[in-house]
Amino acid sequence: MTRQDAIKEIERELKLRERVYPKWIASGKLNRDVARKQYARLRAAKNFLEGDIYAVTGKQKELF
């Protein structure tokens, strides 16, 4: 498995969650805050794999 394979899998999972989380929240199966945290963690993992450290840490990348 390559890093790009992992990124594609995370993208697939993010799209799935975008579809099902609203339904699960509406039905009471999933808490809205829990859903937001889970989605944010997965998005951070994708950003990390893509090398976007600023998006993960909220800090500016080191210049040197």
Domain contains 57: no
Provide the domain count of the chain: 1
Q: Which of 20, 43, 44, 24 is nearest to 32 (CA)?
A: 24
Domain contains 56: no
Residue 51's pLDDT is what?
87
Residue 59's pLDDT is what?
63
Q: What sections of 1-64 are H helices per DSSP?
A: 3-27, 32-49, 53-57
Residue 55's pLDDT is what?
62
Residue 56's pLDDT is what?
58
Mean pLDDT by 10 residues, the chain (64 residues): 94 97 97 95 92 64 46
Domain contains 63: no
Domain contains 43: yes
Tell me which residue range forms the domain holding 33: 3-51
Greatest Cα-to-Cα distance within the chain, rounded to the nearest angstrom:
50
Residue 64's pLDDT is what?
36
